[in-house]
Structure 1
C-alpha cells in the first residue's frame, strides 16, 4: 500500500473513536427479504451479511433491530438509533443521516397483480382509477408518490399487501422485484400473483448513519471497505446465495432452519 494511502487510513481509523474502541453500533431496519430479514429470531440477508463483514473488518460490532419502517425513520431522526440499514437517500433525510458513497444494493420497484384480476398497465398513467397497495414510509419515486389519478393504500407488511391483493381489496401491489419474488416463493403464491414488467423506479439503498461525532469518518471508511469487499469472491458467494433464482433463496432458508433446529 502506498505511504500516502497508509497514512490516510491511519488518520481515518483514529477518527472512528470511540467506535473503533469497541462501542456497539445499533442499526434498525425492517424485514426486506432477501436484503435483510429475520429468521428464527436472527438477522439474515444479502445486505445484512455484507454489512456485518465490512464492519468486522473495521473493528466495529453491530446489533440489528427489526421494527416497522416508519418507526425506524423516527428513531433515526430522533437519534435513538445509530443508523438504518438499507435506506434511500432523500433531501428530507440529509439533516439527520450521513451516507457512504458506495451503495449496498439496487432496488427495482415493480407492480404485482392477482392472476385472476389482470390489468393492462404499460405506463404509470394506466393506473388511473386503481388502488395500489404500498408500505408506510416507503418512497417509490416522485412520479408515483405524487400522482393524483390513482389511490395508494398502505398495509403494515408486504405479506399483508399480497393478502389484500388476493382478496381484491387492492388492484395492484408495489414492491421491489427481488422482495416480491422472494415472498411469492416463500408464500407459495407464484401461480396466484403475477409480476408486471413496468419498472416504476430504480433506486440505490445505502447504510445511513445518524449524524454524530465520528460518523462521517465511519461512513467513508465503511464505503471504502464495502467497495473492496465487492471485488472479492466472498461477496460473490453471498450475493449468489441470496439473489440467485428463488429456489436457491428458499434452499438457503431451509438450510438455516435445519442448522438452528434442535
Structure 2
C-alpha cells in the first residue's frame, strides 16, 4: 500500500503541478547545524539530505540558498522564494505558507552555560539579571521572548554565542539541544560548556512552501514520501552520521553582531 500511495502522488503531481513543467524549486534557509548548513561551500545536514532525497523521489529539482534568517522569512513572505527550510508553524504565516503535514524534525530549546561560571537555573524566574545569548529573529516561545527580568543579547551565529559564553560576555546561551551539542563537539568545547536541564520550549519544524498553484498538492506528496522515508534504515543512517560528526567549525565570535524566529 505505501508504494501504491507514493505512485499515486507522483503521478498526480506530474499531471497537475507547475513543477511538472521543469520548474526548479528554490529553497532558502540559514545555517542551522546539524539540520541544514554549509561546509566548504556545500550544503549539508540532516534535513538538507532528507529533503533533497524526498524531492528527488518526487521528480522535483531543488536549488538551495543560504541567507540570514530574517531575510529568508522576508523573501518567502514576498514570494521571492519557493520554500523555506525548518520553519515553525504560526498563524501569521498561513496566508503565504503551505506546510506538509509531516514535520522535518523536532527541536528543544535549552540553555547552555560555561562550567567555570555556573548558574542555578530551574525556571525562567532564575534568569533574573542575567544575559542570555540568542539568535536574531528566532522564536523561543512567548514566556521566554517577553520576560522582562533578564536581558537577551543576539549574536550573528550560534558559534558566536558559544564563543561569547566562553569569554564571559554572556551568562547563558539558548539554542536547540541537538544543535547545541553538535556545535560543542565541532568547537571542542564539550569539557568547558554544559547543558542546563530547563527546557525553554519544544516545537516541530517544517518545510514551508510558498502558497502558489499546485503547492498544496506538492505538500501532501512530500509529507507522504517523508513519512515513508522515516521508516527506512537510510533515514536513521543520516541522523547517526550527523550526530556523531566531530569536525571543525571556525569560531565566529568576532563577527559583526546584527539582527534574525524560526
Q: Partners of 1:7 and 1:60 in 2: how far apart?
A: 14
CA–CA separation in structure 1 for the residues paired with 2:28 and 2:100: 17
* Partner in structure 1 of residue 47 of structure 2: 47
Aligned counterpart for 1:249 among listed residues 236, 245, 248: 245
| Cα separation, partners in 2 of 1:181 and 1:219, compared to 1, 3 Å | same
Equivalent runs, 1:115-130 vs 2, <5 Å: 115-130=115-130
> Could you tell me how far apart the structure 1 residues matched to 2:151 and 2:204 are?
25
Q: What CA distance in whole angstroms lies between the structure 2 residues aligned with 1:176 and 1:237?
A: 21
Q: Give the drift of 1:209.
A: 0.6
Q: Which residue of 2 aligns with 1:208?
A: 208
The residue aligned with 2:186 is 186
Residues 31-80 of structure 1, C-alpha deviations (whole Å, 9 max, x = no match): 11111111111111111000001000110000111111111111111111
Structure 1: distance between partners of 2:21 and 2:228 = 23
Query: What TM-score do you get using the length of structure 1 for normalisation?
Result: 0.89
Tell me which residue corresponds to 2:226: 226
CA distance in 2, matches of 1:102, 1:5: 15
TM-score (normalizing by structure 2): 0.89
Is residue 15 of structure 2 the alignment partner of residue 11 of structure 1?
Answer: no
Q: CA deviation at 1:154?
A: 0.8
Distance 2:114 2:66 in 1: 29
Correspondence 1:66-105 to 2 at 5 A: 66-105=66-105
State the partner residue of 2:199: 199
Instruction: Answer whether contact 1:24 1:60 (CA < 8 A) is retained.
Output: yes
- Root mean square deviation, CA, Å: 1.9
Q: 1:35 to 1:226 in 2, by over 3 A?
A: same
Q: Are 2:6 and 2:224, in contact at CA under 8 Å, matched by a contact in 1?
A: no
Residue of structure 1 equivalent to 2:167: 167
CA contact (8 A) 2:186 2:245 kept: no
Structure 1 counterpart of 2:143: 143
Q: Could you tell me which residue of structure 1 aligns to residue 37 of structure 2?
A: 37
Which has the larger share of helix? 1
| Matches of 1:79 and 1:118, distance apart in 2 | 45
